[in-house]
Chains A and B, each alone.
Chain A
Amino acid sequence: MTCRDFLKELTDYLDDAIDTKTKAELEDHLQWCHNCYVICNTTKKTIEIYRDSHLYELPDDLRGRLRSAIMSKCGKKDSSA
């Protein structure tokens, strides 16, 4: 397996969406290829850091205002129907 082959499978590997045989081949590659090990590790951290970052959380006050606006518009739509 080349590094290019490894990269092609990286997404499925990280998502655990590959068959056992391919997984074993990828893990064998990781044993000796330090570059792919680092890429795999830092890509995994990239995903985790975004997922855990709470980037763009909806603040409670804005959340309340938006929900009132939505329900009011839906109510108007009903009464005009």
Chain B
Amino acid sequence: MPTIKQVNEPEPATEELSLVTAAKAGDMGAFEELVRRYDRNVFRIAQHITQNREDAEDVVQDAFLKAYQNLGNFQMQSKFYTWLVRIAVNEALMKLRKRRPERFVSLDEDVQTEEDSMPREIADWSPNPEQLYDQSELKDILGKTINGLPPSFRTVFVLRDVEGLSTEETAEALDLSIPAVKSRLLRARLQLRERLNKYFKSRRSGDGTK
């Protein structure tokens, strides 16, 4: 079985390095180029974590402003994008805490046991989900499904599997150990699979329902 391809290849590191160096020296054009390069990613991450459009818009602005204000502290040892993601995730988690203080679970808490992720329903998906639902129905299902995961799981999932950060970069951005990232990622993937199963599992002929 073929494995998952990595996507969202980052821009060449040397080019990014010169942009960051110029931005640190006060070149607003270089900073604007960094905004242009990563604003879509930051918005996607923020919306996945906060599940709220207005909050995601605020996070994009606050994260880039904070990055700009702290460029002098950026050590250039890690990638600028990983550093920016770390800022954005923290801003998004703060929004979530404000909005849902009673339900909030921090990234450090391991909220479920491995048993919770053990597959219960096993059925293949055929035809492909893209053939079963139109694009807006599919987005609705995917949004609702990922929203049901604890924030600590969906944050790891979005960084690793949607944005294509490596396990090491995800660990650095979230200040987690590599085993913790792997454990959350496995459980996030299995829980999403289980939840999507009810929409996508194969239907017997004659069933006729979507």
Contact = CB atoms under 8 A, between A and B. Distances in A.
Given A11-B186, A12-B182, A55 B122 contact: no
Q: Chain A at the B interface: mostly helix, strand, loop or mixed?
A: helix
B35 to A, nearest CB: 6
B193 A58 contact: no
B189 A71 contact: no
Nearest to A17: B167
Interface string B137-150: 01100110010000
A5 interface: no
B81 interface: no
B4 A50 contact: no
A46 interface: yes
Contacts, number: 140
A73 B67 CA distance: 12
B57 A47 contact: no
Given A50-B146, A51-B161, A53-B139, A42 B40 contact: no
Interface string A18-41: 000000000100100001011111
B35 A67 contact: yes
B3 interface: yes
Interface in B133-167: 138-139, 142-143, 146, 157, 161-162, 164, 167
A58 B39 contact: yes
B112 to A, nearest CB: 15
* Range, interface on chain A: 35 or more
B203 to A, nearest CB: 15
B182 A13 contact: no
Given A47-B161, A51-B7, A51-B161, A70 B43 contact: no
A27 B3 CA distance: 12
Nearest to B157: A50
Given A30-B1, A41-B124, A56-B56, A63 B44 contact: no
A35 B58 CA distance: 44
A42 B125 contact: yes
A43 B142 contact: no
Nearest to B197: A42
21 contacts: A7-B190, A11-B185, A14-B4, A17-B167, A27-B1, A35-B122, A38-B123, A40-B1, A42-B125, A43-B193, A44-B1, A44-B3, A47-B161, A48-B4, A49-B130, A55-B48, A56-B44, A66-B39, A67-B36, A70-B68, A74-B28
Given A46-B189, A53-B142, 7 more contacts: A16-B3, A38-B122, A42-B123, A42-B196, A46-B196, A53-B138, A77-B68
